């Protein structure tokens, strides 16, 4: 029983970051049909900025750790939004709906950004002190307070995004633009602006994940890339462009990892994950919640 | 029409002079550079070949690997004759890709992209966990027979060029038309009694056989193979060749492969800036000439016919 | 009600559907639908929007599997058969939407129709020219199909089907978007196909006047079920049909 | 007249292992500067200066082979002063051996060594040098140790190391409860940590896992309350480990680390270490410093052979004496590999104490002792 | 309220509209009749801002609206029901209707309009949660018209609104056109079924090969021999 709870807790912890990361990706994919390989670079940028801002704020400005962290979080999100706006306007804006073109463009951007991070930060892993030290015991499962906070924030952000997409006018416009830009314009939806918002929200979600992850894992210039592959698997399983799908998919993959890693080993769990995905897509090619075209 | 056959003759001439160059070159580097370029060109052309039916086949990387591993295993572990090991590479790739296509081609678009990606990773993980074929260390020591050794680059170039011509031939035939029709609206070919699934599988099989052969050639050219050489990123690079060269024309991927391979060689050695430079080349090319280099050439000749809608 | 069913070409039954049914989740689009198509006739299939006409086309051409019922084509049981089997038995259909290869030239569009046969390229081109001149596309062979005016697009989708040399031609709203004179020309083509090429035609169309003029017999579908069947005149006077479909005129 | 000899380096310069490549390149440049300031190498009346050319092998065999082809054929490199990664090294070796090019490397696999590869030399300690003294020392410190779990990355190095590690622990009377694999690039380690914690072994050996991964697992283990002996055979960088694990890394034993700023380091090492901190933002470690040593060995061999012909140099290298950054050194290892290709440097066992690597013991290989006693 | 002056549009150099001028008056139902490929759709798209004219101008309430994006035209009250419907296939019928109301300011009036539309097309009410792509051809056409009505436009451009509709529903469309016209909405109608179009229209234009060749009131043109032969045959 205790084991079961611990595995469940593991699933939630791992899943929380996956979900946040995948949501941004699925949004960008859903709205602009961009397979954004550079999404991980947004995540990395945010995490790197946190690792350099926190020491700066606590040492140079002398503010307490939590304040330094919050400051760093704002800075990180702001920087990522600017990077996002920049790459959108010089690049993605021109390859919307071109799956292969945007795919390659994002690879080019990824190479540039990763090269830049490596040049600026070097390859060594960096870290920030835990903002919320200590561990918590929930129904017999142990987890750090920091991770618990991550799960909670992730849940709140996810819920907010769900409401935004399903219940608001902007959400309706985003979905409409995702399906047919010309038709969206004919309904009075300023499509370029909406697409930019979609892209920026996606980037902000990645930044959010990066900010939350920084105090937990080591940050390297390639941290984000490692989440990327899984995030793609998640959004395909969940159905492209679907918010609920990204949530279900993220938790599903986290569960495969956590249960498979426990009963076998992580390497086998990785293999199992890929095989499950293949099997899954053969049975339901459109993902859990996707519609058939 | 004159233009078309003229272009083909230019390519034939290019191919023959490459082979001659490889035979006469005193510095092995340039001959092997040509082999890399053509290997990449086959990868890119095969990727574009499947793009005809509208699918982005990441498993191109996997079948490249299957060709290479087939040749390497039969040559190193079983000691089979050179020509047989080379012949088995495309055969094996064709057979396995038929199976792969038959199972996976029910999915489309991004879903197919991901299934093919997952298959590529699964195959790679299987190599890493199989000790007989060297696990993660891979296989070493594929050398062509002594009698051929000195001519191997020339032979490789000839075979790869022939593969490229074969792919071009398929594209120009009625089969190419059918592939385009499937891409455009597969209900139409279905409605007139064509077996669309079979045709799609055929398309993947042809492309996979081509990369399978390239894989076999690569095994001998490189003398070493390891699982990480056949990760999905191989297909991503191939797509970059296609995009940079221009996907609207069969010559595009070849040009793209040549340019990016040379750029890659040229920048090798500038460490962290290598990635930035490589990335910048990709981004700039995409932004400045959206139709790729071939598109640029056509625009320059005022031949561009933009499709409506 | 089903008065004069004697048709000018009341040949053998070539297609027969028995108790055909198709469900989509909770919705039954076609249910207990039995009808037959006779050699050499032009049969009209009409009914309100969403009655199940296109679904019926998908079922008889193999694009959808029936949830129930049986289908016989030329005496063979083809229930659940593939599109390939059915079209090689001679039944070819067109589509209500997306009915052509919009990014390919008109020639290539028609060529696709000839590919189920093994033929020399010259023979194929001959076929293409023949079909193109029949459908009025002879002057537009090199144009990208998506750029054709709407009316010619409709003709092109018929041309693709004709290139496949069908015996039964199922047309899903072939006259939409055509103007008066163009409708007349299309109807003449149908008549010619029937008389000189011996084709059997199943026609779905909302242009009631055209249906009345072209068809030997008409069946009416409503909510997936057979509502009426008979000669055009009889059907157009049928109270139920007027109520459900035609409406009280303007 | 002065001529320039190009020394090639093939190492990952991008991706997650880039830190090794960057460090190695930097250390090599320092060695070259040192040699050139000393007036270069004078052989047979000619003076040569060194120059470093670095190639990114992306940790892959294909790129390794390409590096080798480019170096050999385009740039005319005859000496490779450092290469990382078992897979790319094997790929390069096929060419360097055929073409008679000296290949220094850090590969941990046994498969790259032996009499059939006379041009290949290893410039740092590998499991066959480290494991025996390292594990024995740990067992001495914890005599009641009975059970262990081994966690290895599923890559070439991990695969070559795992059987040796299992064997060595067994010979010390420690039972292996599980030997698990994970893929490079894994980001989440709670599952494996949960598994380890529930097996509750006396010791966890992280074999060839890089410090960041180890740090993540240690942190999770700490949360789950596991307390036992932590062993990192390939532990190179304490900074990286600490950056991730923090207090959870306390007490871990490292097999390939060295604190080059501590008292036991040589003056040369202290200077290099400080310089690296300045230039790269991180200190040197056992891997990165090794290209410095390789270049010094090369210089000594050239002078000894009085030639820059690789064929002559490969013949003198096994018996050459030179000043490595650790002090006087030479080559050995004929007992293990049937050919003396292994650079002889001390095995240093360090432990994390208060977040710093503290040297516990240092043992010179018997051969090195013999050399210095000559 | 809307006037088109000397409009010229071409596709990659091939002209599709040549010097087209027309007027849409307050409270009028204006129709354009023409054979296939005459340029009707092109004209509609140019007015809606989807195509950029080579020459000529479009004035709305006396203001030059050339160069406005389609979205801005919608905000100015001009809504197009496009040829080919352009629905949001994977979105539910309900959401499709709601996108129509995207740029409205009077949000409180939306629920009432929603009910009105469903009243016109009861077939849609049964399928409110189905994705639009699952609808039958005619149901999709109803949805396209309904979506445009949700925008509560000042001027509605209908490009073949009755395509694929059953006769009874065609009647409904005619009723709708008359109703909204009575409520002060201007209608520009392109219709394959010239009978209907000329019946409804207060003013009609005949377009051939990209040029306006005839114009007059609906009744006049209905009795014009040329028109009868070409467009009213069947
Ligand atoms: N793929 C599908 N999934 C769910 N429902 C469907 C699907 N296809 C059709 N339907 C529903 O089945 C019913 C019949 O549709 P069908 O397309 O056959 O009508 P139709 O008679 O061709 O109408 P129209 O004259 O408007 O084209 C409709 O209510 C439609 O919404
Ligand atoms: N995207 C396009 N590219 C090139 N030519 C086009 C394009 N769209 C339309 N045309 C051409 O412009 C002319 C006018 O077309 P348009 O669609 O405006 O005609 P229409 O009057 O609406 O005809 P229909 O009754 O068939 O809808 C036609 O000759 C058509 O072939
Ligand atoms: Mg229909
Ligand atoms: Mg039109």
Mutate one of B75, B129, B139, B226 to test the D interface: name it (highest D CB count within 10 A). B226
Residue A60's CB: how many other CB atoms inside 10 A?
9
Contact across the interface for C149 and E142, Cβ inside 8 Å:
no
Per-residue model confidence (pLDDT) at position D374: 64
Helix axes C150-163, C121-134, angle to 10 degrees: 140
Ligand 2 close to Cβ of residue C106 (< 6 A)? no
Distances (CA, A) of B101 to A194, B67, B123: 38, 17, 15
Is residue C6 scored above 60 in pLDDT?
Answer: no
* CB D347 within 8 Å of CB D336: no
Q: Which residues 6+ apart lie within 8 Å of E14 measured at CB?
A: none
Q: What's the mean pLDDT when you consider all of chain A?
A: 86
The DSSP bridge pattern shows strands D46-56 and D41-43 to be: antiparallel
Please indicate whether, in this complex, the C-beta atoms of C152 and E36 are within 8 angstroms of each other.
yes
Q: Residue E135 domain-assigned? A: no
* Strand spans (E) along D73-218: 79-83, 102-105, 120-122, 147-153, 175-182, 203-205
Q: What is the pLDDT of residue E80?
A: 95
**Shortest Cα–Cα distance, B34 to chain D (Å):** 12
- Tokens describing residue B112: 């197919």
Q: Does B125 touch chain A (CB under 8 A)?
A: yes
- C160 touches B: beta carbon within 8 Å: yes
Chain E CB contacts of B306 below 8 Å:
12
Instruction: Give E147's pLDDT tier (boundaries 50, 70, 90).
Output: very high
Q: Is the pLDDT of residue B1 over 50?
A: no
Please, are residues D87 and D65 in contact by the beta-carbon 8 Å criterion?
A: no
Task: State the CB neighbour count (10 A cutoff) for residue C177.
Answer: 18
Quote the Cα angle for A75-A78-A79, to 5°: 85
pLDDT at position D29, please? 95
Nearest to B53, CA basis, from B194, B164, B163, B241: B194
- How many Å apart are CA A60 and CA A48, to the nearest integer? 18
The DSSP result for D108-171, as a single string, is --GGG-STT-TTEEE-S--HHHHHHHHHHHHHHH-TT--EEEEEEESSHHHHHHHHHHHHHHHH
- Of A188, A191, A193, nearest to E151 by C-alpha is A188
Question: How much distance in Å is there from the Cα of C151 to the middle of ligand 4?
Answer: 9
pLDDT surpasses 60 at B141: yes
User: What average pLDDT does this structure show over A56-67?
Assistant: 89
Buried b (16+ CB within 10 A) or exposed e, B115-140: bbbbbbbbbbbebbbeeebbbbbbbb
Report yes or no: A243 at the E interface, CB cutoff 8 Å.
Answer: no
Is the Cβ–Cβ distance between A282 and B106 less than 8 Å?
Answer: yes
Residue linked to tokens 């169309």: C205
In chain E, how many domains are there?
1
Chain B environment of E11 (Cβ under 8 Å): 308
- CB D114: neighbour CB atoms within 10 A? 14
- β partners of residue E2: E24, E60
Which residues lie across from D323 on neighbouring strands?
Answer: D328
Task: Tell me if C209 and E135 make a contact (CB, 8 A cut-off).
Answer: no
Chosen from D154, D184, D193, D194 to mutate, greatest number of chain A CBs within 10 A: D194
Closest CA to B133 of B217, B208, B224: B224
Q: Residue C3 — very low, low, confident or very high, per pLDDT cuts 50/70/90?
A: very low
Residues C53-67 pLDDT 10s: 999 999 999 999 999
Query: Could you identify the residue written with the tokens 């409709």?
Result: C154
Q: Which ligand is nearest to the CA of E10?
A: 2
- Across the range C159-165, mean pLDDT stands at 95
Q: How far apart are CA B123 and CA B121, in angstroms?
A: 5
**Beta-sheet pairing, C13-24 with C27-38:** antiparallel
CB spacing of D216 vs A135 below 8 angstroms: no
Q: Tokens 């199943």 — which residue? A: C202
Rounded mean pLDDT of A220-228? 84
CATH fourth-level superfamily of C13-90+166-246: P-loop containing nucleotide triphosphate hydrolases (3.40.50.300)
Find the domain containing A91 and state its range.
1-283
Torsion from C-alpha of D120, D123, D128, D131, nearest 10 degrees: -160
User: What SS3 class is residue D332?
Assistant: strand
**pLDDT given at position A139:** 79
Tell me which residue has tokens 């309900």.
E94
Phi, psi (degrees; rounded to nearest 5) at D248: -65, -15
Instruction: Choose the weakest-confidence range: A233-242, B206-215, C179-188.
Output: A233-242
Distance CA(B239)–CA(B56), nearest Å, equals 9
B223 vs D25, D65, D72: nearest CB: D65
Point out the residue among B185, B192, B193 whose CB comes nearest to the CB of C98. Answer: B185
Provide CATH 3.40.50.300 ranges for chain C: 13-90+166-246
Q: Which residues pair with E11 in a beta bridge?
A: E14
What does the domain layout of chain B look like in residue ranges? 4-235
Contacts of C178 in chain E (CB under 8 A): 36, 192
Which listed ligand is nearest to C206 at the C-alpha? 1
Is pLDDT above 80 for B304? Answer: no
Q: Tokens for A186?
A: 């004919």
Distance from C-alpha of A25 to C-alpha of A39, rounded to nearest angstrom: 7
Q: List beta partners, residue D350.
A: D254, D359
Measured at the CA of A102, the angle between CA A97 and CA A104, to 5 degrees, comes to: 150
3-state class of E214 per DSSP? Answer: strand
Q: How far is CA D292 from CA C158, D261, D300, E126, in A?
A: 78, 17, 13, 79
Cβ contact A265–D180 (<8 Å)? yes
Q: What is the dihedral of CA C23, C24, C28, C34, to 10 degrees?
A: -40
Residues C174-229: tens digit of each pLDDT: 998 887 778 889 999 999 999 988 999 999 999 998 999 999 999 999 999 999 99
Distance (Å, rounded) from C-alpha D289 to C-alpha D283? 10
The residue whose CB lies within 8 Å of the most ligand 2 atoms, and thus the one to mutate among C137, C144, C147, is: C147
Q: Is residue A184 part of a domain?
A: yes
E43 CA → ligand 4 middle, Å:
9
Ligand with minimal distance to C55 CA: 1
Beta strand spans in D183-228 (E): 203-205
User: For residue B53, how far is its CA from the centre of ligand 2 (angstroms)?
Assistant: 28
Ligand 1 — pocket residues by CB below 6 A?
C 24, 27, 29, 47, 49-55, 96; E 127, 134-139, 164
Tokens standing for residue E49: 């801002």
Contact B117, B58 (CB under 8 A): yes
Predicted confidence at residue A292, as pLDDT, reads 41
SS3 assignment, position A118: helix
Question: Residue A188 and residue E131: Cβ atoms within 8 Å?
Answer: no
Cβ–Cβ of C161/B178 closer than 8 Å? no
Give whole-number Cα distances, D179 to C247, D162, D176, in Å.
79, 8, 7
Judge whether E164 and C242 are in contact, CB under 8 Å.
Answer: no
- The mean per-residue pLDDT over the stretch C37-45 comes to 95
Give the Cα separation of B55 and E201 in Å (integer).
Answer: 49
Measure the CA–CA gap between C119 and C124, rounded to whole angstroms. 6
Q: Which two tokens stand for residue D96?
A: 């360097």
∠ CA A258-A263-A266, nearest 5°, is 55
Facing residues of B12 across strands?
A: none
* Amino acid B307: pLDDT: 34
Facing residues of D341 across strands?
none
HEC string of E17-40 equals EEEEEEEECCCCEEEEEECCCCCH
pLDDT for B275 beyond 80:
no
Residue whose pair of structure tokens reads 């990204």 in the numeric block:
A246
Ligand 2 atom closest to the CA of E160, numbered from 1: 27
Core vs surface per residue A180-216: b (16+ CB within 10 A) or e: bbebbbbbbbbbeebbbbbbbbbbbbbbbbbbbbbbb
Domain of E198? 1-77+186-233
Which of the ligands is closest to the CA of residue E83? 4
Q: How many CB atoms lie within 10 A of CB A120?
A: 11
Give pLDDT, residue A135: 84
Q: Are the C-beta atoms of residues D156 and D126 closer than 8 Å to each other?
A: no
Name the residue facing A271 among B115, B125, B280 (closest C-beta): B125
Q: Is C33 helix (H, G, I), strand (E, B) or coil?
A: strand
CA distance B107 to chain D (A): 28
Q: Are D364 and D274 in contact (CB under 8 A)?
A: no
* Average of per-residue pLDDT across B223-251: 88
Confidence of residue A289 (pLDDT cuts 50, 70, 90): low
Distance CA A241, CA B15 (A): 46
Q: Is C149 in the pocket of ligand 2 (CB under 6 A)?
A: yes
Which residue matches tokens 């792969």?
A: B100
Q: What is the pLDDT tens value at each position of chain D, 374 positions in all?
A: 578 999 999 998 876 677 788 899 999 999 999 999 999 999 988 999 999 999 888 877 878 888 888 888 888 899 999 888 888 888 899 889 988 999 999 988 788 899 999 999 999 998 888 999 999 999 999 999 999 999 998 887 888 889 999 999 999 999 999 999 998 778 788 889 999 999 999 999 998 888 888 988 998 899 888 999 999 988 777 877 888 888 889 999 998 888 888 888 899 999 999 999 998 888 888 889 999 999 999 999 999 999 999 999 999 999 999 999 999 999 999 988 999 999 999 999 999 999 888 889 888 888 888 877 76
Cβ pairs bridging A and D (under 8 Å) = 121
Q: Residue holding tokens 């307070």?
A: A145
Give contacts of D16 with chain A, Cβ < 8 Å: 123, 220, 222
| Nearest-atom index, ligand 1, CA of E126 | 29
For B149, counting Cβ atoms within 10 Å of its Cβ (0-12 exposed, 13-18 middle, 19+ buried), the class is: exposed
Place of tokens 């409270």: E27
Cβ neighbours of A104 in B, within 8 Å? 236, 239-240, 243, 282, 286
What's the rounded Cα separation, in Å, for the pair C97 and A43? 43
Cross-chain CB nearest to E167 (options C96, C182, C245): C245
Tokens of A5: 């709870």
**Sign of the CA dihedral running A55, A60, A65, A71:** negative
**DSSP code of residue B308:** P
Computed over every residue of chain B, the mean pLDDT equals 87
Alpha carbon distance A223, A123 (integer Å): 11
Measured from the Cβ of residue E195, the count of other Cβ atoms closer than 10 Å reads: 15
Q: Inform me whether the pLDDT recorded for B309 exceeds 70.
A: no
| SS3 call for C203 | strand
Q: What are phi and psi of C68, to 5 degrees?
A: -165, 165
Q: Is the pLDDT of residue B28 over 80?
A: no
């Amino acid at each position: 029983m205790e084991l079961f709870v611990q595995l469940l807790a593991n699933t939630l912890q791992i899943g929380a970051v996956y979900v946040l990361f995948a949501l941004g990706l699925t949004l960008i994919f859903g709205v602009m049909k961009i397979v954004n390989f550079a999404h991980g670079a947004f995540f990395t940028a945010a995490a790197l900025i946190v690792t350099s801002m926190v020491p700066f704020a606590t040492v140079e400005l002398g503010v307490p750790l939590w304040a330094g962290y919050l400051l760093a979080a704002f800075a990180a999100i702001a920087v990522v939004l600017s990077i996002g706006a920049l790459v959108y306007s010089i690049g993605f804006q021109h390859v919307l709906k071109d799956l292969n073109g945007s795919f390659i463009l994002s690879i080019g951007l990824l190479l540039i950004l990763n090269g830049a991070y490596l040049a600026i930060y070097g390859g060594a892993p960096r870290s920030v002190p835990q903002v919320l030290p200590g561990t918590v015991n929930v129904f017999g499962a142990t987890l750090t307070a920091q991770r618990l906070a991550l799960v909670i924030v992730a849940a709140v952000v996810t819920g907010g995004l769900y409401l935004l997409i399903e219940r608001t006018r902007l959400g309706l416009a985003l979905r409409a633009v995702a399906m047919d830009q010309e038709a969206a314009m004919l309904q009075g939806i300023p499509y370029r602006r909406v697409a930019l918002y979609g892209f920026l929200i996606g980037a902000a979600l990645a930044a959010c994940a990066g900010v939350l992850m920084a105090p937990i894992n080591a940050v390297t210039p390639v941290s984000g890339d490692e989440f990327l592959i899984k995030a793609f698997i998640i959004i395909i399983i969940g159905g492209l462009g679907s918010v609920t799908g990204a949530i279900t998919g993220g938790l599903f993959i986290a569960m495969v990892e956590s249960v498979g890693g426990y009963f076998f080993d992580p390497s086998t769990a990785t293999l199992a994950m890929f095989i499950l995905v293949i099997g899954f897509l053969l049975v339901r090619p459109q993902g859990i919640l996707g519609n058939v075209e | 029409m004159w233009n078309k056959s003229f272009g083909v003759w230019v390519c034939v001439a290019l191919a023959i002079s490459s082979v001659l160059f490889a035979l006469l070159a005193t510095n092995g580097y340039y001959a092997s550079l040509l082999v890399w370029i053509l290997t990449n060109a086959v990868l890119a052309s095969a990727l574009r070949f499947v793009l005809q039916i509208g699918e982005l086949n990441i498993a191109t990387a996997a079948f490249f690997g299957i060709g290479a591993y087939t040749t390497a295993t039969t040559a190193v572990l079983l000691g089979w004759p050179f020509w047989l090991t080379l012949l088995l590479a495309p055969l094996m790739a064709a057979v396995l890709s038929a199976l792969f296509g038959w199972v996976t081609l029910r999915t489309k678009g991004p879903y197919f992209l991901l299934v093919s990606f997952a298959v590529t990773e699964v195959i790679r993980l299987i190599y890493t966990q199989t000790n007989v074929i060297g696990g993660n260390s891979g296989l070493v020591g594929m050398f062509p027979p002594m009698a051929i050794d000195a001519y191997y680059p020339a032979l490789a170039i000839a075979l790869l060029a022939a593969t490229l011509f074969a792919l071009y031939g398929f594209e120009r035939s009625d089969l190419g038309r059918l592939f385009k029709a499937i891409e455009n609206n597969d209900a139409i070919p279905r409605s007139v009694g064509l077996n669309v699934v079979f045709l799609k599988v055929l398309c993947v099989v042809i492309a996979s056989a081509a990369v399978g052969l390239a894989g076999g050639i690569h095994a001998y050219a490189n003398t070493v193979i390891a699982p990480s050489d056949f990760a999905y990123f191989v297909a991503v690079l191939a797509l970059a060749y296609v995009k940079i060269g221009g996907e609207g024309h069969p010559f595009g991927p070849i040009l793209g492969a040549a340019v990016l391979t040379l750029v890659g060689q040229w920048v090798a050695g500038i460490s962290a800036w290598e990635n930035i430079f490589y990335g910048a080349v990709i981004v700039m090319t995409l932004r400045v000439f959206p139709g790729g280099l071939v598109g640029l050439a056509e625009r320059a000749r005022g031949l561009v016919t933009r499709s409506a809608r | 009600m089903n008065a004069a069913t004697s048709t000018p070409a009341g040949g053998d039954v070539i297609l027969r559907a028995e108790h055909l049914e198709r469900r989509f989740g909770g919705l039954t689009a076609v249910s207990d639908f039995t009808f037959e198509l006779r050699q050499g006739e032009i049969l009209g299939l009409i009914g309100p929007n969403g009655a199940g006409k296109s679904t019926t086309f998908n079922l008889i051409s193999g694009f959808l599997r029936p949830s129930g019922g049986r289908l016989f084509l030329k005496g063979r049981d083809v229930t659940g058969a593939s599109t390939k089997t059915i079209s090689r038995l001679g039944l070819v259909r067109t589509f209500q939407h997306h009915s052509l290869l919009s990014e390919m030239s008109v020639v290539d569009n028609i060529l696709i129709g000839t590919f189920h046969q093994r033929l020399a390229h010259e023979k194929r081109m001959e076929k293409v020219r023949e079909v193109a001149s029949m459908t009025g596309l002879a002057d537009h062979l090199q144009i990208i199909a998506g750029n054709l005016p709407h009316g010619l697009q409709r003709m092109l989708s018929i041309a693709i089907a004709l290139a496949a040399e069908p015996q039964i031609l199922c047309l899903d709203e072939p006259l939409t978007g055509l103007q008066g004179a163009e409708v007349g020309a299309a109807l003449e083509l149908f008549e010619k196909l029937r008389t000189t090429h011996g084709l059997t035609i199943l026609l779905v169309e909302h242009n009631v006047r055209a249906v009345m003029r072209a068809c030997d017999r008409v069946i009416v579908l409503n909510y997936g079920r057979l509502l009426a069947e008979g000669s055009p005149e009889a059907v157009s006077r049928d109270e139920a049909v007027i109520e459900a479909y035609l409406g009280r005129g303007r | 007249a002065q001529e320039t000899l190009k020394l090639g380096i093939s190492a990952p310069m991008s991706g997650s292992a880039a830190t090794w490549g960057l460090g190695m390149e930097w250390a090599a440049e320092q060695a070259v500067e040192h040699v050139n300031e000393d007036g270069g190498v004078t052989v047979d009346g000619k003076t040569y200066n060194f120059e470093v050319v670095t190639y990114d092998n992306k940790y892959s065999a294909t790129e390794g082979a390409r590096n080798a082809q480019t170096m050999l054929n385009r740039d005319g490199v005859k000496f490779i002063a450092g290469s990382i990664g078992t897979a790319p090294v094997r790929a390069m070796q096929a060419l360097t051996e055929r073409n008679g090019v000296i290949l220094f490397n850090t590969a941990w696999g046994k498969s790259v060594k032996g009499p059939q590869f006379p041009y290949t030399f290893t410039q740092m300690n590998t499991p066959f040098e480290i494991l025996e003294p390292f594990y024995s020392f740990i067992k001495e410190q914890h005599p009641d140790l009975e059970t262990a779990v081994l966690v290895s990355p599923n890559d070439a190095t991990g695969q070559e190391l795992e059987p040796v590690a299992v064997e060595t622990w067994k010979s010390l009377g420690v039972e292996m409860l599980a030997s698990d694999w994970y893929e490079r690039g894994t980001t989440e380690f709670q599952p494996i940590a949960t598994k380890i914690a529930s097996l509750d072994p006396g010791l966890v050996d992280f074999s060839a896992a890089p410090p960041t991964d180890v740090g993540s697992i240690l942190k999770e283990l700490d949360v789950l309350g596991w307390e036992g002996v932590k062993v990192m055979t390939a532990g190179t960088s304490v900074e990286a480990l600490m950056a991730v694990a923090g207090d959870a890394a306390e007490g871990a034993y490292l097999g390939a680390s060295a604190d080059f700023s501590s008292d036991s380091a040589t003056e040369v090492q202290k200077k290099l270490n400080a310089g690296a901190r300045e230039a790269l933002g991180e200190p040197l470690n056992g891997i990165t410093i090794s290209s410095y040593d390789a270049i010094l060995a090369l210089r000594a061999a050239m002078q000894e052979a009085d030639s820059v012909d690789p064929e002559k140099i490969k013949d003198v290298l096994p018996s050459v004496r030179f000043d490595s950054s650790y002090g006087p050194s030479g080559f050995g290892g004929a007992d293990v590999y049937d050919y003396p290709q292994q650079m002889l440097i001390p095995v240093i066992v360090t432990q994390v104490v208060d977040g710093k690597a503290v040297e516990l013991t240092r043992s010179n290989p018997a051969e090195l002792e013999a050399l210095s006693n000559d | 309220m809307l006037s088109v002056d000397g409009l010229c549009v071409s596709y990659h150099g091939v002209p599709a509209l040549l010097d087209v001028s027309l007027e849409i008056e307050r409270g009028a139902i204006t129709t354009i009749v023409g054979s296939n490929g005459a340029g009707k759709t092109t004209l509609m798209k140019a007015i809606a801002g989807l195509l950029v004219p080579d020459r000529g101008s479009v004035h709305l309430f006396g203001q030059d609206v050339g160069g406005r994006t389609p979205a801005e035209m919608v905000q100015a009250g001009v809504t197009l029901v496009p040829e080919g419907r352009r629905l949001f296939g994977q979105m539910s019928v309900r959401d499709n209707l709601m996108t129509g109301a995207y740029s409205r300011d009077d949000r409180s009036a939306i629920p009432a309009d929603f009910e009105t539309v469903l009243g016109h097309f009861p077939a849609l009410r049964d399928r409110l949660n189905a994705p639009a792509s699952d609808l039958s051809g005619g149901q999709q056409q109803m949805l396209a018209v309904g979506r445009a009505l949700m925008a509560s436009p000042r001027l509605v451009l209908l490009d073949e609104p009755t395509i694929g509709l059953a006769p009874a529903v065609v009647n409904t469309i005619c009723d709708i056109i008359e109703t909204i016209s009575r409520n002060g909405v201007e209608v520009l109608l392109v219709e394959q079924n010239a009978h209907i179009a000329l019946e409804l229209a207060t003013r009609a234009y005949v377009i051939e090969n990209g040029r306006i060749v005839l114009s007059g009131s609906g009744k006049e043109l209905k009795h014009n021999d040329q028109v009868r032969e070409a467009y009213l045959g069947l």
